[in-house]
Amino acid sequence: MEENEELNEEQQDNTAPEGASGEETTEALTRVTGMYKDWFLDYASYVILERAVPAIEDGFKPVQRRIMHSLKELDDGRYNKVANVVGHTMQYHPHGDASIADAMVQIGQKDLLIDTQGNWGNILTGDRAAASRYIEARLSKFALEVVFSPKITEWQQSYDGRKKEPVNLPVKFPLLLAQGAEGIAVGLSTKILPHNFIELIDASIKHLKGQRFTIVPDFPTSGIIDVTNYNDGLRGGKIRVRAKISQQSKNTLVINEIPYGTNTSSLIDSILKANDKGKIKIKKIEDNTAADVEILVHLPSGISPDKTIDALYAFTACESSISPLGCIIEDNKPLFIGVTEMLKRSTEATVELLKQELELQLAELEEQWHFASLERIFIENRIYRDIEEEETWEGVIKAIDKGLKPHTKHLRRAVTEADIVRLTEIRIKRISKFDLDKAQQQLDTLEERIAEVKHHLEHLIDFAIDYFKKLKSTYGKGRERKSEIRVFDDIIATKVVIRNTKLYVNREEGFVGTSLRRDEYITDCSDIDDIIVFTKDGKMQITKVDSKTFIGKNIIHVAVFKKKDKRTTYNLIYKDGKGGATYIKRFNVTAVTRDKPYDLTAGSPNSQVLYFTANPNGEAEVVTVNLRQAGSIKKLKWDIDFADVLIKGRGSKGNIVTKYTVKRIELKEKGVSTLKPRKIWFDDVVRRLNVDGRGELIGEFRGDDLLLVVTQKGIVKTILPVLTSRFDDDMIVLEKWIPEKPLSAIYWEGEKERYYLKRFQVENEHKEELFISDHPKSYLELISTDWRPVIEIEFPKPRGKEPKESLTVEVESFISVKGIKALGNQLITEKVKNINALEPLPYEEVKEAKPVDMEVVGEEDVSTSVDDKTDAKKNTDTSTDENDGDEGQITLF
């Protein structure tokens, strides 16, 4: 009141300036400082504690806790209309029915606490649940066992004081981590990701045993996850989630699992948007999702499926990042902790709850034992006869108490008046039918149960471990991990984006861009690419693709720029200034500042480029230098081999060619690569090729070398060693392909039901071929890529006899090399136990002649496109990447 009066006085002072007439209307100035401090803080606290953030004790937000309490009150084993449950919950939750119904649907969709009936929506497709009057629910058996225990529950008054509701439910399971939680409060938020049911139980058991544990999320939508940066669910962590995409056919991709946080509708929309923007190129999409996800992505002919998969991850919702934030309520305060600490606290709370239940159970058993003993004494010693002469109630109590005293020494507590009153309530019928043996048997059973409960209390940790094991065996079936854990490779967007526009150049005027359609076409590119431009005056510049950009007059070379490309080598001969000497140099361009001009000459004014080539594989040609006749020059013509020039930085001056005037420079002989063959490794963790030394070394590859791939399905193919290639999980052979080297295969022929052995060579490059029969029961038993393989056949042991001695077969003697479609020779007619590959026979391979190489440190991928493989083989002087356009061209001046 005093504050209000002071405020009113201030308002009067502020709103009544000198000279103001009483009849004038003035605006009142209201100060909100006090309101902000009190009201806003109250509101923020309310939203944090009562709406958005779950409690660590039971893992529930208030609305969820009240829904579970209402379901328990209504529980009679039958289904209840959700609308009825919502109305019942409104006795405890002071908010609208819509928010309660939505919260209940979310709990039901997690398929853990609520047994649902009807259309509860679909987390895969994003379909909403039916109206609450049409769907039904009841508590699951798991919820009834784990969530409720009224005798150890702390209660409080509901918001209107008419009902009692639990402060926290006695949940004996890490429910918060199993279900996950997400909420936005005032000034803070929480995002706890769901974890696997079985893994949480195993982690709880490990914690009780004093062992270390690690838990990572598991999502109901399945998918593939990378938890490298999970950071225990704390602020700053990140999880990458991907859809599971596989190649169904040459022009069809299939998505069988989707990332958490998306649905099929939003995923398809993101793919269509990426297609409209030109980032990817697709023909059509089919959504065949029912119980399981199935989205078919049809590709136009000529589009690489591997590259499209990477593009889907780079430009659509097929890959997304989730940032967890572990915030919970403890003692009415928000607390930021990791999932490991959450599990520890939940497990320890479970142990405490189990202890309370055991202590309560022990007290009840001891009470039962106490009264059963009193009842036996009362009836066996016929103490009830002592009350026949008593006329008052006090006399009855004293008579019974006096009659019991000689027989109560073995009791575990004193006899109270309440015990005596209870004895007086025993009916005559029970006394007349009292069986001493049955009474003793009941006491023995109670003593056994008391001893058992005391044992559990003394060995509480072991009891808790058994409790968790029981939960796992009872409810763990069908709750195996859904999300596959992998380490993701980083996808470079510029390498997988579809070339959705064309690049043009006006060489004379010095413009490059995508809108110069009347000028010279250079290459296809994308709107996120960089381009590298060289001009006749020896300048170089890298800039972003745009509609029209001025670089400088007399452009001599334009191409899409590949960052960190240490294989593309530029060969340059230039004249230093108007009357200066001529220099030759070779250089790479790996990284520069965008839109900054770089001078490739010595820096003298009027310098001019006389000869220039861009070589994607470090080719070094031979050129002829022709001098202009002047004075007493004796040698006017000679050859220069670029292979004799070292590759240096772009800023190097170069080697002097001549100090005289050059008339012209002619190409004499096309060059070959001066770079060493590229070493390629296969990283089995991400199942990708790389040039960084991760994983197993596959081999050294030149421009036309191919990879040999064999799968367990009996499919063989050869592919270019493109770093964006994807490999099936059933791949069993991945090595450098030697065309002359035969493959030896043993397979079970389904129709003839016999093992066959065949030797063959890959006949068609870049084509998948089935080398076993197409019978549904046929399968590949063994494949060998050795030159002269040897196999061993083991036979099963007959009953009562010694096993037959193993048979050794030299494959090259058994069968000659035949066509890939040949059936092969029948290997054996007898039953076989095992077929093993032995040490092959010696073979001396013809070693390739090693050229004189010029090494470039840190060689990297040229990103050769599979779609360009045919052109790459026909013309080794052009680029092997669709980005390169006219790289490899020769420019003469």
How high is the pLDDT of residue 451?
93
SS (H, E, C) 31-98: CCHHHHHHHHHHHHHHHHHHHHCCECCCCCCHHHHHHHHHHHHHCCCCCEEHHHHHHHHCCCCCCCHH
How high is the pLDDT of residue 555?
94
- Residue 633, token pair as written in the block: 């020059």
> How does residue 863 score in pLDDT terms, banded at 50, 70 and 90?
very low
How high is the pLDDT of residue 206?
95
- E strand residue ranges, 299-428: 319-322, 327-330, 333-336
Whose tokens are 């939003």? That residue is 266
SS (H, E, C) 692-711: CCCCEEEEEECCCCCEEEEE
Of 101-110, 592-601, 725-734, 879-888, give the lowest mean pLDDT range: 879-888
Residue range 490-532, pLDDT digits in tens: 777 777 777 778 899 999 999 999 999 899 999 888 888 899 9
Buried b or exposed e, range 168-177, using 16+ CB within 10 angstroms: bbbbbbbbbb
How high is the pLDDT of residue 860?
35
Sheet holding 790-794, edge to edge: 807-810, 790-794, 834-838
Whether the pLDDT of residue 11 is over 60: the answer is no
- The per-residue DSSP string of 517-534 comes to TTSEEEEEE-TT-EEEEE
* CA–CA gap between residue 197 and residue 177 (Å, rounded): 9
Of 170-174, 563-567, 774-778, 881-885, give the lowest mean pLDDT range: 881-885
Buried b or exposed e, range 24-46, using 16+ CB within 10 angstroms: eeeeeeeeeeeeeeeeeeeeebe
Give the number of other CB atoms < 10 A from CB of residue 878.
17
How high is the pLDDT of residue 372?
87
How high is the pLDDT of residue 35?
66
Provide φ and ψ at 885, rounded to 5°: 60, -115
Q: Distance of CA 703 to CAs 269, 644, 706, 884, Å? A: 39, 22, 9, 15
- Residue 249 or 296, more confident: 296
Tell me the chain's radius of gyration from C-alpha atoms.
Answer: 41
* CA–CA gap between residue 672 and residue 818 (Å, rounded): 36
User: What percent of the chain clears pLDDT 90, i.e. is strictly above it?
Assistant: 52
Provide the mean pLDDT of the chain.
85
Whether the pLDDT of residue 113 is over 60: the answer is yes
Whose tokens are 């004038």? That residue is 24
- Residue 854 or 682, more confident: 682
How high is the pLDDT of residue 755?
92
How high is the pLDDT of residue 892?
38
Averaged pLDDT for residues 598-603: 91
Give the number of other CB atoms < 10 A from CB of residue 432.
8
- Residue 711, token pair as written in the block: 């799968």
How high is the pLDDT of residue 248?
87
* CA–CA gap between residue 525 and residue 502 (Å, rounded): 6
> How does residue 665 score in pLDDT terms, banded at 50, 70 and 90?
very high
- The per-residue DSSP string of 196-264 comes to -HHHHHHHHHHHHTT------B--TT--EEE-TT-GGG-TT--EEEE-EEEEEETTEEEEEE--TT--H
> How does residue 870 score in pLDDT terms, banded at 50, 70 and 90?
very low
How high is the pLDDT of residue 135?
95
How high is the pLDDT of residue 408?
82
Averaged pLDDT for residues 465-470: 95
In sequence order, the 6+-apart residues with CB closer than 8 A to the CB of 415 are 374, 401, 404, 408
Q: Which of the 8 DSSP states describes residue 633?
A: -
* CA–CA gap between residue 69 and residue 88 (Å, rounded): 10
How high is the pLDDT of residue 27?
63
How high is the pLDDT of residue 34?
67
How high is the pLDDT of residue 67?
95
Look at residues 8, 273, 57 and name the one whose alpha carbon lies nearest to residue 168. Answer: 57
Q: Distance of CA 326 to CAs 71, 350, 809, Å? A: 28, 20, 62
Q: Answer yes or no: are the C-beta atoms of 775 and 749 closer than 8 Å.
A: yes
Look at residues 694, 600, 691 and name the one whose alpha carbon lies nearest to residue 651. Answer: 600
How high is the pLDDT of residue 52?
86
User: What is the helix, strand, coil percentage profile of the chain, to 5?
Assistant: 30, 25, 45
Active site positions, annotated: 134
Look at residues 211, 225, 177 and name the one whose alpha carbon lies nearest to residue 197. Answer: 177
Averaged pLDDT for residues 119-133: 92
Look at residues 191, 193, 188 and name the one whose alpha carbon lies nearest to residue 178. Answer: 193
Of 88-92, 630-634, 667-671, give the lowest mean pLDDT range: 630-634
Averaged pLDDT for residues 27-50: 73
Residue range 145-191, pLDDT digits in tens: 999 999 999 999 999 899 999 999 999 999 999 999 998 888 888 99
- E strand residue ranges, 590-690: 598-599, 608-615, 619-627, 637-641, 647-648, 655-658, 662-673, 678-683, 688-690
